[in-house]
Structure 1
Amino acid sequence: MKFGKDFKRQMVPEWVEAYMDYNGLKRILREIRLSRVPKMPQTPLRSIQNKLSMYSPFRGLDVEPKGQQSKGDVEDQVIKVSPFVGDSNRTFYRTKLLLEAEEIGGEVEVKFFRKLDEELNKVSSFYRDKVEEVLKEAAELNKQMNAFIALKIKVQNQGIKGSKSEFEMEPLRAARQGAAPAINSENGREITNPASDKPDVLKVLNHVTINNKAEGPLSAFRGIMKESKDKELSFSKEELKEVQERLKVVFTEFYQKLKLVKNYSFMNLFAFSKIMKKYEKTTSRYAARSYMKIVDKSYLGNCDEVTKLMENVEHLFVKHFYNANRREGMKPLRPRKRREMHRVTFFSGFFCGCSIALVIAIILMVRARKIMSKGPVPSYMENMFGLYSLFLYIVLHMLMYATDIYLWKRYRVNYAFIFNFKQGTELGFREVFLLSSGLAVLALASFLANINLIIDMTTQARDSASFAKIIPLLVALVFLCIAFCPFNIIFRSSRFVLLKCVFRSICAPLYEVTLQDFFLADQLTSQVQAIRSIEFYICYYSRPGFPQGQSKCHDYGVYNAFYYVLAIIPYWIRFLQCLRRLVQEGDRMHGYNAVKYLMAVIAVVIRTVYELKKGTPWMVMALVSSAMAVAYNTYWDLVVDWGLLRRNSKNFYLRDRLLVSHKSVYYIAMVINVLLRATWLQYVLEFRVNGLRKTAFSTTISCLEIIRRGMWNFFRLENEHLNNVGKFRAFRSVPLPFNYHGQDDDDDDDDEEEKDD
């Protein structure tokens, strides 16, 4: 693999603009190469001389005498790099090219070194900022470890009051000396506590409380009652275990940050080395050694804080959380990435082929046997279609999600970071496609078996007909068993994350809203028909003798009541989530977003009333409310969620930053989104298509909405990713277990007492 491709692959997606512009420098080198090409035409005499030169003696491996060797030190005469102090007292570099202006390619070479200096200064400044960030966080982690070790001593009744503490964590540089290490911001020097310093280890417990991690209903009610989110220390073993687990997460995340920062430094240093070698090869001037000396002296090449921090974090983590078992302790710090297994690809293709074959078999059987025109069979098939459509919606949504993952990876959208997935557990598009194709095979095979059993609905085959009616229920139970299976099979971690998000969404607004939660709730707003299919399952199998269809179910008042409620649940969840974020974050945009979902709730209720009761007044109200909701939702999709329709953008009515190079994709997507949003109005206008039943037409509209949601997912996450890129946000913020309070004042008092003494 060429370095340019590997360099791009190794980049932190959110920091792309902070890396050295390797391709830009290569383009300037290409200009230099073109400017140095001789302009003389190829004359016949020159052509003959070139051919005769092929017959000259071979001397490629001979070593030239010293007097005839090229001067290796002439590079000192090619460039001169001068440091200067710029803003914020930081050192920057400027290179002067020691060439005559008339030399071939001189102006372009000046342009090259000007660009090279800009990139070095940019990269060094960014690296310094990131190192300062991790050092500040390291200082905070020192305090957290102080409190943790003091709590551990207190719980285990091992406090030694008034004696020297080997656990005092002022700077984390005593790692190699047996004491608990602390993360130091003092230029990497190891500092141990002097023998005369005898602080009280347990004193720190007087200044800390436990940050309340609970985010459920109890914390919500406490917030309403204006109780403190923090709680006093109870010095119990359960509390110690909870703090220890939370600190593990904090240190694991901090270690991942250090790895990213270190990799950033390494890849940019390598890029500078590679581009200077290309410069020498292009110009035959020896300047790489001189310039790389400056690069090595810069903050980018000279700072080793991150490497030392990583070593000390490893030592601390292994010692205090895994009893010095390095083999086990390094596993969470260096998690293995999910490997792409060939069997996943094989079974995905196998199930996909089976699904296509089953669809063809069902179509041929229905047409050959003329099932839809035989006595009571059409009514039965309509019921089966209503039951099996649930799996159609789920499979289609999973296929769209697999497509989104493929596109996110192709355009380097860091979806795992955005969704806060644990490293190594996120599903790729192959795994999602495997699950969707497997579920499709299960549903289609059972549907085909159902048709075979019900074709001859005679008295002798009554038992077969009864069994056929239960098949959809069995498939649904199998699906639920797989979803809630506690064993470590079929991507258990991903299944549990999904179930957790579903639960948190249902309990809105009692839980703090994360991107996972509201993103899933948005998916549910496109699955209203699937939710109603679940209600139809309950009605179909709960009544004696199984009702004949949804028309029969609508005779029950309870069914109609839930038919209203279930349709608005997804929108109501999003409405409550927006209110929670409005109160919690104080951003008015969440209030405007809540209005959007409230309008959708009103439109769905009125439209459902019209669907059940009919009548011109209800039709007008449903049409007006639906049109207003469609307009508001469409505007929000394009402007807020996708970040498009920017008037002052350099891309006409798009964003300044686009991941897809073809701008037409965005214009087409906007038009398709508007059209698919407008299909919502068909529930009111009730368009009819010849040869297509009402149930099939409604299912088609629902499938189009799922497709629109899949398209929305890609551009929504692209916009989120670009917002992270603009803020260089590549780290997760993990809440710390301890909260310090009142310590500074007490420390000042202690200092005054010492002075008095």
Structure 2
Amino acid sequence: MKFGKTLDNLMVPEWRHQYMNYNELKQLIRNAVSNAPSGARPSNDSVIGYYRDFEELFFTTCRGELTKVNDFFAHKQAEAHRKLATLNYQLDRRRAQQDPRGSSISRGSASSRTRQTEDKRKMPSIKKLRLAMSEFYLSLIMLQNYQTLNMTAFRKICKKYDKNLKSEAGFSWYERFVLKSTFAMTLQLDRMITDTEDLYTEYLANGDRSKAMAKLRVPPLGHRTPPVHVFSAGLFLGLFLVGAVMCIISYFSLNLSPELRYTFVSLFRGPISGVTFGFCLAINIKVYENVGVNHVLIFEVERRSALGAMGSLEIASFFGYMSTLSILLYLLHKEFFIADPNFIPLVQLAVVVVLFVNPVPILFYSARMWLLTVMGRVLLSPFFFVNFADFWVADQWTSLVVSIVDHYYLVRFYVRYFLDRSDAFEFEPDYAVAVIKCLPAWFRFAQSLRRFRDSESKSTDYLINALKYFLSIGEVIFATIQMQTITQYTELFESPWTWAYITICIVSSIYSVFWDLLMDFGLFRVWKGENLFLRDNLVYPRWLYYFVIVENTLLRFVWILEFVLVYQDVLAPYNGKSLICFSEIVRRFFWNFLRLENEHLYNCGQFRATRDIFITRLDPQEERFLQSVMDKTEDLARERRDKKYF
């Protein structure tokens, strides 16, 4: 692989514009060679003048790139220096509380001893300190990789210049400017990395360096997915595709009665929609990885154990294959001598639940625990600070309402079936269905109010967003009332509740479309030029944004199509719900692309590439003490550097 492509693949996405622009300089060299004076007798003066002008242009551009890299590196290194001093202070403060004689704070700041009792209530936990140190160490390694990649890029572009222009000016410039630049000095960054390892070993790993390094270790650049996961994903995907084809052939070739088809859809639509959604998420993650959208940071997942596209595909393919087996066994139960096929979906559901809540640290344990934690925070939305992952998961639930209700029907079916009730095979909605349909919208409504409460600016955007989900709850309420009162009228449109339901659905759909396009996607910021109706910064191809604008708008109103088709008896009601279910999954699939891109661009603007772990706020006296410690450290480092280089 060529270095330019390697550089693009290994860049920190949020720092992409702060790297040396290798491809631009390489293209500059190519253009210079291709446009060089040619002909039968080019004059010597014109050739010399051409290459002299290009050399000035090339190295002026290089100096601009070097200044950009130096400034960014110095900024991030100073930021890291302060962060390390703060963490060191917090660790030493905790040691001072446990053993005052062994702490440098107790020796360096007498006043801190009088505040030990006051500070006890705001002392950060060991778990939070470990997380903060781990994330800080990751940021140092990322800065070190930034340093290495830019050094390599400057060296290679200077070598390419000398090779193509038959010169030695590139190597000379590299030695004169790059090797003596700020970002090429590795001493301070290396020392911070070593200090972080020592601090973690001493304070958080009880002196066990091997244990500390196991917690701090960062995967190398270009780390590939383990072969076992690639093999498993390919195996289960192949089995799923074969099984899916067999299921489709069996469903349409068998002479199933309408009652059996209705039962089949009612039992298996929930699992099938869940598998479809899983494959959509796997594709989402793969595209994020290809275009550089840092979903790991956005979801605040531990980078060392993050679930990548291949792991997501492996999970979706496994459950997809399991679903196809269940469907085939159900449809062909007589050929497999299964007396009662109605237990087959129950076995599938039990396997999924057991694998998901399994407490043993196997089978993507960290990903499962992360999802369980987020789901717990969503269920208790009003009582927790809302992170991006919390409201993202709740948003996914709003698109899976039909699937969630189907799983409720599945549980209700087995309760009635085991009780041998005559209505076991009736999959009609009850009041519990109305409550379940309201829950995802309620979670988002509560999260929006909580975000308004927690925000310092008290932005009305959160209240406007809450109104969107309030309208969704209104849709469910009016639909339930209309369904319960429809027998009082001879015609559907004679019921005022039908018109109330249609009205609130229209208002909610229009409201949601505007919110999606303006707020979630951040579009319609540019009203002229090549990015018309979009925004200045785009990650995906331009056509995708226009497609999503149309697709999202149409699928927000797909309920009208379902309403008309069911009313005209073109579709059975349960097939109409299937249309709504899979249309909403497709809409959410494209929504995920632009919503995470919008969040990613915000992180890029802040140069935020790692999680911000808040420890505790320092008072002014502690700030002054910390600054004095940093000044002494800088003086000592300068003395060591002077001794080393002079």
TM-score (norm 2): 0.87
Deviation at 1:365, TM superposition (A): 3.8
Deviation at 1:243, TM superposition (A): 2.5
Amino acid at match of 1:488: P
Change (3 A) 1:481 1:291: closer
Q: Which residue of 2 aligns with 1:116?
A: 62
Q: Which residue of 1 aligns with 2:409?
A: 536
Is structure 2 residue 295 aligned with structure 1 residue 359? no
Is structure 2 residue 514 aligned with structure 1 residue 658? no
Deviation at 1:686, TM superposition (A): 4.5
Is structure 2 residue 617 aligned with structure 1 residue 735? no
Is structure 2 residue 379 aligned with structure 1 residue 379? no
Counterparts of 2:78 and 2:17 in 1: how far apart (Å)? 19
Residue 509 of structure 1 aligns to a residue whose secondary structure is helix
Counterparts of 2:271 and 2:623 in 1: how far apart (Å)? 63
Amino acid at match of 2:515: W
Is structure 2 residue 548 aligned with structure 1 residue 602? no
Is structure 2 residue 124 aligned with structure 1 residue 205? no
Is structure 2 residue 491 aligned with structure 1 residue 620? no
Out of 121, 145, 156, the position equivalent to 2:91 is 145
Deviation at 1:315, TM superposition (A): 1.5
Q: Which has the larger radius of gyration?
A: 1
Counterparts of 1:715 and 1:732 in 2: how far apart (Å)? 21
Q: Which residue of 2 aligns with 1:427?
A: 307
Out of 433, 437, 443, the position equivalent to 1:573 is 443
Amino acid at match of 2:255: K
Q: Which residue of 2 aligns with 1:474?
A: 347
Change (3 A) 1:368 1:290: closer
Counterparts of 2:21 and 2:423 in 1: how far apart (Å)? 67
Amino acid at match of 1:133: E
Is structure 2 residue 639 aligned with structure 1 residue 703? no
Counterparts of 1:428 and 1:371 in 2: how far apart (Å)? 41
Percent of aligned pairs sharing the same letter: 27
Is structure 2 residue 488 aligned with structure 1 residue 488? no
Counterparts of 1:100 and 1:318 in 2: how far apart (Å)? 65
Preserved CA contact (<8 Å) 1:649 1:656: no
Counterparts of residues 162-181 of structure 1 (less than 5 Å): 167-168=103-104
Is structure 2 residue 412 aligned with structure 1 residue 412? no
Deviation at 1:450, TM superposition (A): 2.2
Out of 205, 214, 230, the position equivalent to 1:345 is 230
More displaced stretch, 262-271 vs 283-292: 283-292
Q: Which residue of 1 aligns with 2:77?
A: 131
Preserved CA contact (<8 Å) 1:379 1:548: no
Preserved CA contact (<8 Å) 1:318 1:329: yes
| Residue-by-residue CA offset, 1:712-754 (whole Å, 9 max, x unaligned) | 1111111111121122111211021x5544746999xxxxxxx
Q: Which residue of 1 aligns with 2:643?
A: none
| Residue-by-residue CA offset, 1:696-723 (whole Å, 9 max, x unaligned) | 2321221111011011111111111112
| Residue-by-residue CA offset, 1:551-606 (whole Å, 9 max, x unaligned) | x454xxxx622121111110110010011001101232212111111122212322
More displaced stretch, 335-344 vs 1-10: 335-344
Preserved CA contact (<8 Å) 1:32 1:282: no
Amino acid at match of 1:317: Y
Amino acid at match of 2:76: K
Amino acid at match of 1:632: Y
More displaced stretch, 701-710 vs 349-358: 349-358
Deviation at 1:207, TM superposition (A): 5.2
Change (3 A) 1:727 1:600: same
Q: Which residue of 1 aligns with 2:420?
A: 545
Counterparts of 2:182 and 2:254 in 1: how far apart (Å)? 78
More displaced stretch, 592-601 vs 538-547: 538-547
Is structure 2 residue 6 aligned with structure 1 residue 6? yes
Preserved CA contact (<8 Å) 1:208 1:740: no
Counterparts of residues 39-118 of structure 1 (less than 5 Å): 39-40=39-40, 103-118=49-64
Q: Which residue of 2 aligns with 1:725?
A: 604
Change (3 A) 1:548 1:455: farther
Preserved CA contact (<8 Å) 2:162 2:168: yes
Unaligned 5+ runs, structure 1:
43-98, 154-158, 171-192, 212-232, 234-241, 373-377, 748-757
Amino acid at match of 1:275: I
- The size of the alignment, in residue pairs, is 608
Change (3 A) 1:108 1:16: same
Is structure 2 residue 465 aligned with structure 1 residue 590? no
Change (3 A) 1:452 1:394: same
Out of 415, 419, 430, the position equivalent to 1:560 is 430
Preserved CA contact (<8 Å) 2:526 2:535: no
Counterparts of 1:41 and 1:386 in 2: how far apart (Å)? 84
Counterparts of 1:35 and 1:339 in 2: how far apart (Å)? 41
| Residue-by-residue CA offset, 1:83-115 (whole Å, 9 max, x unaligned) | xxxxxxxxxxxxxxxx99971233333322221
Amino acid at match of 2:447: Q
Q: Which residue of 2 aligns with 1:292?
A: 175
Residue 362 of structure 2 aligns to a residue whose secondary structure is coil
| Residue-by-residue CA offset, 1:342-370 (whole Å, 9 max, x unaligned) | 34333333333333333343444444441
Amino acid at match of 1:263: N
Out of 478, 500, 504, the position equivalent to 2:377 is 504
Amino acid at match of 2:534: L
Counterparts of 1:146 and 1:344 in 2: how far apart (Å)? 42
| Residue-by-residue CA offset, 1:174-202 (whole Å, 9 max, x unaligned) | xxxxxxxxxxxxxxxxxxx8xxx795884
Unaligned 5+ runs, structure 2:
487-491, 626-646
Amino acid at match of 2:158: M
Q: Which residue of 1 aligns with 2:278?
A: 398
Preserved CA contact (<8 Å) 1:209 1:739: no
Counterparts of 1:498 and 1:742 in 2: how far apart (Å)? 39
| Residue-by-residue CA offset, 1:451-510 (whole Å, 9 max, x unaligned) | 333699xxxx9xx65x32222222211211111111122212111211111111011111
Q: Which residue of 1 aligns with 2:147?
A: 265
Change (3 A) 1:733 1:110: same
Q: Which residue of 1 aligns with 2:197?
A: 314
Preserved CA contact (<8 Å) 2:93 2:105: no
Counterparts of 2:159 and 2:242 in 1: how far apart (Å)? 57
Counterparts of 2:125 and 2:380 in 1: how far apart (Å)? 26
Preserved CA contact (<8 Å) 2:565 2:571: no
Preserved CA contact (<8 Å) 1:244 1:321: yes
Counterparts of 1:343 and 1:262 in 2: how far apart (Å)? 30
Preserved CA contact (<8 Å) 1:603 1:625: yes
Preserved CA contact (<8 Å) 2:21 2:65: yes
Counterparts of 2:449 and 2:435 in 1: how far apart (Å)? 20
Change (3 A) 1:247 1:360: closer
Deviation at 1:625, TM superposition (A): 0.9
Counterparts of 2:109 and 2:512 in 1: how far apart (Å)? 65
Change (3 A) 1:507 1:291: same
Preserved CA contact (<8 Å) 1:405 1:428: yes
RMSD: 2.9
Amino acid at match of 1:355: F
Counterparts of 2:475 and 2:302 in 1: how far apart (Å)? 39
Counterparts of 2:198 and 2:237 in 1: how far apart (Å)? 49
Counterparts of 1:16 and 1:620 in 2: how far apart (Å)? 52
Change (3 A) 1:389 1:261: same
TM-score (norm 1): 0.75
| Residue-by-residue CA offset, 1:181-226 (whole Å, 9 max, x unaligned) | xxxxxxxxxxxx8xxx795884452452444xxxxxxxxxxxxxxx
